[in-house]
């Protein structure tokens, strides 16, 4: 009986969404951004477009790509946001040409020539440490990847699982590029001895650092700086090979670009809200002359070799060799 009731509730919810989606005043955005950023965006859109019912649905980047690539014009989504560029490339045939929407001055070479999406953000990372934990146990700050193999870090490290986290994959790919595949895999086998937890999400290690459960974690710069500004005893350290990074994008699902509401919202997103988002959430540089307004955000970050970041076949190959 419970299974039947649960099934009915799912059907009712789906019908409710379908009926609302038929309303010309409903616009759907599939977003892979953090929930707090989605909430803020929704509030801004409600103020800017009071006559629209904008629904922002959080969905992991790979799932968005799979759905849109399969459903194409029949997708519930009108706009996709915060999707890694590798997956944007994978579903580009299901996306509209949006090259004429942006009036911003992107860094040369930042935008794809085919025009099927615009870059939303650049996010890079490094080692985040809890300075109080290091001081408590008399542990020196790690400066290199090899430092994380030291016995004093046993059960004091958290990293992302690259199979579920793009942040984790960024570190994995960078080490493969710098050291070669065999040495990188051997390194992670050794590092496993010191890892307390593999996080499913990119922000997982930061949460453990704040809770004092770990001393070191791989993390995104903007997430760590946000927590530093919130008063948490964290510090960002970059390995010698540089900050692993990737890009994500924003676009309109093909066939939805003939709707005026979609055009209006997208134009606002990629010209006005994008700048607001860089000022308040992720200052990673994608625009000419872009200056960070986020307190404590580092300048002149050296970025790592991310050759192959958009190669999904390479991603599948490397993830197939990941043991943890």
Is the distance from CB of 80 to CB of 250 less than 8 angstroms?
yes
- Residue length of the chain: 324
- Say yes or no to pLDDT of 17 above 80: no
- Say yes or no to pLDDT of 8 above 60: no
Judged by average pLDDT, the poorest of 20-24, 91-95, 195-199, 246-250 is 20-24
Distance CA(324)–CA(77), nearest Å, equals: 34
pLDDT in the model for residue 175: 98
SS3 category, 111: coil
Distance CA(53)–CA(49), nearest Å, equals: 8
Q: Which of 310, 315, 283, 272 is nearest to 123 (CA)?
A: 283
Domains of the chain are: 2-122+248-280 (3.40.190.10), 124-245+299-320 (3.40.190.10)
SS3 category, 102: coil
Q: Which of 184, 182, 208 is nearest to 195 (CA)?
A: 208
- Say yes or no to pLDDT of 222 above 60: yes
pLDDT in the model for residue 159: 97
Quote the Cα angle for 109-114-117, to 5°. 80
Q: Which of 130, 184, 149 is nearest to 304 (CA)?
A: 184
Q: Taking the model in full, what pTM does it have? A: 0.83
Task: List, in sequence order, the alpha helices (H) in 116-250.
Answer: 131-137, 166-179, 181-191, 204-210, 221-229
189's CB contacts (< 8 A; 6+ apart) are 323
Q: What's 271's DSSP letter?
A: I
- pLDDT 10s digits, 174-205: 999 999 999 999 999 999 999 999 998 888 99
Average pLDDT taken over every residue of the chain: 92
């Amino acid at each position: 009986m419970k299974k039947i009731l649960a099934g009915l509730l799912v059907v009712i919810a789906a019908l409710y969404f379908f009926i609302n989606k038929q309303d010309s005043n409903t616009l759907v955005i599939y977003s892979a951004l953090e929930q707090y950023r989605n909430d803020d965006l929704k509030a801004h859109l409600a103020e800017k477009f009071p006559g629209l019912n904008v629904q922002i649905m959080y969905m992991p980047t790979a799932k968005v790509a799979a759905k849109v690539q399969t459903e194409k014009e029949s997708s519930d989504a009108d706009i996709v946001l915060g999707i890694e560029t590798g997956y944007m490339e994978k579903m580009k045939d299901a996306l509209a040409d949006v090259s004429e929407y942006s009036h911003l001055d992107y860094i040369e070479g930042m935008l794809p020539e085919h025009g099927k999406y615009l870059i939303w953000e650049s996010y890079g990372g490094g080692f985040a440490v809890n300075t109080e934990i290091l001081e408590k146990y008399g542990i020196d700050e790690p400066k290199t990847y090899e430092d994380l193999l030291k016995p004093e870090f046993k059960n004091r490290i958290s990293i992302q699982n690259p199979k579920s986290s793009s942040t984790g994959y960024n570190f994995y790919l960078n080490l493969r590029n710098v050291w070669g595949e065999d040495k990188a895999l051997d390194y992670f086998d050794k590092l496993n001895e010191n890892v307390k937890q593999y996080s499913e999400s990119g922000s997982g290690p930061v949460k453990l650092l704040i809770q004092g459960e770990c001393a070191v974690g791989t993390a995104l710069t903007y997430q760590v700086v946000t927590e530093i500004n919130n008063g948490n005893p964290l510090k960002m350290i970059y390995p010698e090979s540089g900050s692993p990074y990737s890009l994500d994008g924003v676009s309109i699902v093909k066939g939805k670009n003939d709707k005026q509401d979609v055009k209006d919202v997208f134009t606002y997103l990629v010209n006005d809200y994008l700048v607001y988002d860089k000022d308040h959430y992720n200052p990673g540089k994608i625009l000419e002359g872009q200056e960070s307004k986020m307190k404590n955000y580092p300048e002149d970050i050296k970025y790592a070799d991310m050759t192959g970041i958009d190669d999904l076949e390479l991603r599948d190959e490397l993830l197939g060799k990941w043991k943890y």
